[in-house]
Amino acid sequence: MLDDMNVIKQRDRDDALGVTGRQYEQVDYVVALENAEHDGRELNNVVIAGMGGSALAADLAKVLLNDRLALPLEVIKHYRLPNYVDKQTLVIVSSNSGNTEETLACLVEARQRGAQIAATATGGTLTDQAREYSIMLAPFPHNGQPRMGMFYNLRAILTILVAFGVVSSSILDELAGTRSWLQAETEKWVKEVTTVHNYAKQLALIAVGKTAEFIGSDLTSSIAYKWKISWNENAKNVAYWGALPELNHNEFMGWTSHPIEKPFVIFDIRSDLDHPQIAKRFELTDRLLSGRRPKANEVWLEGDTLMKQLLWGCILADFVSIYVGILNGVDPTQVDLIEKFKKELAGEE
């Protein structure tokens, strides 16, 4: 089925595969900052507030910058800022649409506390308020589903951090430098490449009809989470994610009861950059749970740097989950129930 172009065209009506196949174009987008001047005050910490794909871009930034940051960085995915946020905090409010109510609530609170503030968005209320209050704004041009514009958002967040002197501009050069390599890798997974040669299609066939769990590490937990939300939104499947070593302290025992035949599929998101003990934990976990849970399928992230591996894993997640959506007979792009929920929450229906 995945090699039948007529079936793909019928089920992928908005060309999610084509959009995913062009995501590499976002990594060298030059963000033109508005209200770029700031007062140069000393910063003690950074908070990024966002939801969904906007929060995922922040999660990626946090992992990528872990060894470069001299300040603590926290990602917030709800309505309230931590109590420590004050005038020495940089608060980045990030929303693809610019209308995410949780993020807008954090903007109000950041202004009340006198924090240093910056924003990323494609438009909406957040953009309007950033311009009204002369807040640094990193706009980007994505007009599709937020999860498909995540690299734009990542560029915007990193550009803000560079502008405030939190990190060196070399991080933007490194990100832009992945474009050609990502393009070449992406071309291996497009719809025209047949299943026998297409890793993304092969993984989709392994997963279809089952509930998936994606397991990462301290380096790759954001990618495991990305796979989970891609499964939710593209494949319209329930899915779960976890990370080692924490998983061995709780979930590990959860697999030891109930019937052996469990309708799950396990994907271990592996990196050759992981701590040696993490590699040992992946292997030991799979061995000790043999017969209690399905054998894990290892997805080894490609690339000779952490940045390449994380970006590669993000794009592959979208391709595989879209193919699962096609096998499920659903439209991979539309998220009608989420939109309905937002309207009802806002009292619009």
* Active site residues per annotation: 233, 249, 342
CA 28 to chain centre: 18
CA 46 to CA 165: how far, in whole Å? 12
User: What b-and-e string marks burial along 201-231, b requiring 16 or more CB atoms within 10 Å of the CB?
Assistant: bbbbeebbebebbbbbbebbbbbbbbbbbbb
CA 83 to CA 81: how far, in whole Å? 6
Considering only CA atoms, which of 173, 149, 142 is closest in space to residue 159? 173
Which H or E element spans position 109? helix 101-112
CA 16 to CA 315: how far, in whole Å? 12
CA 276 to CA 98: how far, in whole Å? 42
The torsion angles phi and psi of 33, rounded to 5 degrees, stand at -70, 140
CA 253 to CA 275: how far, in whole Å? 23
Q: Is 158 exposed, middle or buried (0-12, 13-18, 19+ CB in 10 A)?
A: buried
Q: Please report, in angstroms and rounded to a whole number, the separation of the first and last CA atoms in the chain.
A: 39
